[in-house]
Structure 1
Amino acid sequence: MDIRKILEDVKEDKLSIDEALKILSRLPFEDIDFAKIDHHRKIRQGMSEVVFCEGKTEQQVLKIFERMIEKGEVNIIGTRASKELYEYLKENLKGDIDYYEAARIVCAKRVEVKKNPKGHVAVVSAGTADLKVAEEAAIILEILGNNVKRVYDVGVAGIHRLFSHLDEIQSANVIVAVAGMEGALASVVAGLVSKPVIAVPTSVGYGANFKGLSALLTMLNSCANGVAVVNIDNGFGAAVVAHMINSLANGNL
């Protein structure tokens, strides 16, 4: 069934709006040989497909962005994007494209979305070395329309630094806690607040950190209530979950 037939059936009362929406949510992807672009993800999930750029050629990323723009999509996000990729896209892609170097994010056709008016998301990081993962989460959240408060370099080695920011952390609708080394920050934060904490282990640390495994295990074994854990260095994944929770708090989902 094509979109025109669906619309005609809705117009003629042969199909309800809800039934049509259900069909549209299952419409096929676009096959461009090396990728299958899911143009209808926004219908199903409320946000467009995000492109993981690492491992793709510059030409492949360009082609995906071009096809998404042709379909009328805005705020097209690419994660794990290098500065070289950004320069290539800027030179070859029609329209505006922004680059967030610390977060390694590109965003094409940036359009400001309506902000969630009630409250904010707090992104808390243990150390400056965790900044790239924390910023990935913060930038994704902002592009999706969330108010974000950053609280950085407040790890457990100097816990008094965290305490000086408790008001803005406790008043958040949801907290993203980013930490490497032993990953204790998430447990400490969760023990102080009544809001969900999304823990992000990072690969920051010395040898026995095992590239983030020690932080991951600490967070998974947290004795504090209300902690959910995403994959190592996955600031993007944490941001999407936090966005969904914050949208629910604002009545938008």
Structure 2
Amino acid sequence: MDNKQDILELLRSVARGQTTPEDALLSLKEEPFADLDYAKIDFHRSIRQGAAEVIYGAGKTPEQIVGIVKAMGERNCRNILVTRIGQEAAEELAAAVAVQYHPIPKLAIAFPEERPLRGRIVVATGGTSDMAVAEEAALTAEAMGNQVIRLYDVGVAGLHRLLASLDELMSARCVVAVAGMEGALASVIGGLVDCPVIAVPTSVGYGASFGGLSALLSMLNSCASGCSVVNIDNGFGAGYLASMINQMEGIKEEER
């Protein structure tokens, strides 16, 4: 099934009793994808997972990125995320399609489209140096339809800065805590809030931080309940997971 008409025909087949609902669901989950030789674009990811495929820009040529984005745009995909894309590649992409480029996190949003923002996700950083990873998380969550509150430079070296934002923290459905060095921010926030905390270790720090490994291990060993941990510098993964948590909470509230 390559278009809406094919899906509509499948649904009509279910209505006629020629296809079981279970078989139709399986077909929708399994198809389709487009083979561009250098990439196989999964057009039904939004049906299976609720969000369209995201393009990891590092390691891809500008031509490959443009080709993938154009193919997705032709299928009416919007707010297409391209992570870890450099300035030169972003400029080539912008020459081909509508793009919003954010140089700090090196993230592009192709075919940007405004959408209603739901719930509230807080993205907090230990320091200003963590902003690149934090912005990747925040922009990912916003592109997926979530309201995001940014609390930057509220690390444990000056705890009063974090405590001054308790209202924002307490009203969040999910908090993304981004920190390098010893990574203590996630544990502190985890001990204050009643929502899930997604800890993001960053590679910020001096030699003994081992490129973020120290923060990663600290976050994994957190004594605060409700903390989960993503990979080092994985702002995208944190923003995506925060969106899933926020959207699920929104559905629960609507059902009530």
TM-score for both structures, normalised by structure 2 = 0.92
Aligned match of 1:229:
229
Residue 65 of structure 1 is matched in structure 2 by 69
AA matched with 1:56: K
Whole-Å separation in 2 of the counterparts to 1:172 and 1:230 = 19
Change (3 A) 1:158 1:225: same
Alignment counterpart, residue 9 of structure 1, candidates 10, 13, 17: 13
* Letter matched to residue 56 of structure 2: F
Q: Which runs of 5+ in 1 are unaligned?
A: none
Aligned position for 1:39 = 43
Q: Aligned letter for 1:13?
A: G
Give me the whole-angstrom Cα distance separating, in 1, the residues matched to 2:114 and 2:191: 35
Q: Distance in 2 between matches of 1:215 and 1:48?
A: 31
CA deviation after TM superposition for structure 1 residue 16, in Å? 5.1
Query: Where does 1:104-143 land on structure 2 (aligned, <5 Å)?
Result: 104-116=106-118, 119-143=119-143
Aligned to 1:99: 101
Distance 1:244 1:22 in 2: 22
State the secondary structure of the residue aligned to 1:30: strand
CA distance in 1 between partners of 2:193 and 2:232 (Å): 23
The structural deviation recorded for 1:70 is 1.4
Q: Which residue of 1 aligns with 2:26?
A: 22
CA distance in 1, matches of 2:63, 2:196: 40
Which runs of at least 4 in structure 1 moved beyond 4 Å after TM superposition? 16-19
Give the gaps of 5 or more residues in structure 2.
Answer: none
When normalised by structure 1's length, the TM-score is 0.93
User: What number of residue pairs does the alignment pair up?
Assistant: 249
Q: Distance in 2 between matches of 1:9 and 1:20?
A: 9
Range 168-177 or range 100-109, more displaced: 100-109
For residue 187 of structure 1, report the CA deviation from its aligned partner: 0.3
Amino acid corresponding to residue 215 of structure 2 in structure 1: A
The residue identity in structure 2 corresponding to 1:148 is V
Question: Offset at 1:21?
Answer: 3.3
Identity of aligned residues (%): 51
Query: d(CA) in 1 for partners of 2:148 and 2:32?
Result: 35
Offset of 1:86 from its aligned partner? 1.2
